[in-house]
Structure 1
Amino acid sequence: MKNSRIKFFASFIIASVVLVGCAAKQTEGETEKPQVSETHQTKGQEYTNILTSTAWQGTRAYDKENNDLSEENAGFLGLALYDFESGKYEFFDKDSGETRGDEGTFFITQDGEKRILISQTKGYQVVVDLTELTDEIFTYKRMGKDKEGKDVEVYVEHIPYKERELVFTNAPVEDTTYSDKIEQDVRGIDILGQTLWNGTKVFDENGVDVTEENKMFISIAKFDETNNKYEFFDVATGLSRGDYGYFDIINNRVRAHVSIGEKPYGAVLTLTELNNARFTYTRMGKDKDGNEIKVFVEHEPYTGEFTPTFSF
């Protein structure tokens, strides 16, 4: 059922880790998992339903004066396929239908204002403003080029694509297992948004503490479940670390985020623990000899004296 968003596509996500920030203990005792119950839909969820209900074809690009700039911004005009359950997207050539080799993770903010892409294969991330999204038309605005090659804000319009069936080049493999360390009945974005979180420790696959070697992953984290904003703050001063942007929790098994701060980057991280008491995810870090290893970054609700607010 689409609205559960609790099915996790392991092979795609593991391949998708782009950069990042935190981790987790490996799960045990896995069995078939139940569905997450939801009593209402946000605007972002409604938009995600629409976006993933069909393939889309970019038809034209234009500026605020309605001047056609499709030729100058042809790179935005392809075919697009989005998958609800996995949070995966892929772009295809508008003429041949062949893949453009651009695939990764997408999400729409809960307020329906923005669509975020994290490209696994092309190594970029982008945040665009949604201006219209219905069953018949999908339009966003972003920076593009005018007829003189200068930067200008453009609107990129799409309509449903029905000419041929588009299929993901790398189909995600569904993982129907779950861990009792991951909450099944509450959306992960709501869990993270209910409190501040404090990175507490980093450890390797053998449980060896490597927090000292990976101190850059330890911070106070603030999340907003209504608009998908996040920001990381210094644990010693409570000041912003200049790392802020938009995040989402996909299927309660992945945390994706795009930083629009001082050093923009995108990250797609596998969660191994997610509940009211703790959340943990995995990424690459360093061992005591400086070698690159898989590490788990653990967080617990913050109980300190700082009350940080978003800087953007």
Structure 2
Amino acid sequence: MLNYAVRRIFMACLLALFVSFISYSLIFAAGDPAAAVAGEASTAADAERIRQLYGFDQPILVQYLHWLSGVLRGDLGTSLYFDQPVATLLLGRFAMTAQLGIFALILALVIAVPLGVAAGRWPNSIIDRLALLFAVIGQAMPSFWFALLLIILFSVKLSILPASGTASWQSFIMPTIVLGYFAMPAIMRLTRSGMISALEADYIRTARAMGLSEARVLFDYALRNAALPIISLSSAQFGFLLAGSVVVESVFAIHGAGSLAWESIARGDLPTIQALVLCFSLFYVVLTLLADMLNAMLDPRMRSK
């Protein structure tokens, strides 16, 4: 297990280094960053002064190494629009987005896993068809449209939930439902397929022949083996929830990392955009690493890979 952990951490560090270089290079993809910082009304002389001030006249590798040394010290630069350290700005915004993402993932797992188990236990039954219909609707329905429907129903018609803001815990109910429903279809379908495959295995027939209860067969044996891909998918879905919260946070006026990304892109705040891309990407790397570690603990066969 130790050798496997060392290998996975080493690969994760290499991937994080590659991701950091890509995220830094993105500011040059849209053109001259000095001209973007100077603004549309600037002159060539203004752009040149900005280029020298921010070091954009140096080779990109030199700029990257200078930026990376700052990142390793916790210095992500200064926001051009908000005029404060980007690290301080991200810290408060990401806490809000992470809280919303955790609530949404818990809701998705609580609903999708039991649905997938039931659909896999009775394939092609009415339960299976309803579960698949539930998944298809979740995949096809735009999140902003679903959010507006909830606001019309619970805020405008019934007046039982706040339509926006984060003043109370009730403010998180509708955003959690919208984001959670976004993650449910993939988890439910993977749980269903994993249960169908597991229930056809020889060890399940042996467990039933030994007289074990159906609940124990389903949850202690079949679901435990079907859970390995679910863990990997859940880690990826959590990353999707964090990165995909832009629309939901905009609809519900939640000042998290998603809304910060939208504001930074609209205002051309390059250091903040750069830091957001890096943070969202590193979330995927860390979550994938944790999922691999957990899968290796549950399945010793993975440690030899």
TM-score normalized with structure 1 length: 0.22
Structure number with the bigger relative contact order (C-alpha 8 A, sep ≥ 6) is: 2
Name whichever structure is richer in strand by fraction.
Answer: 1
TM-score normalized with structure 2 length: 0.22
Bigger CA radius of gyration:
2
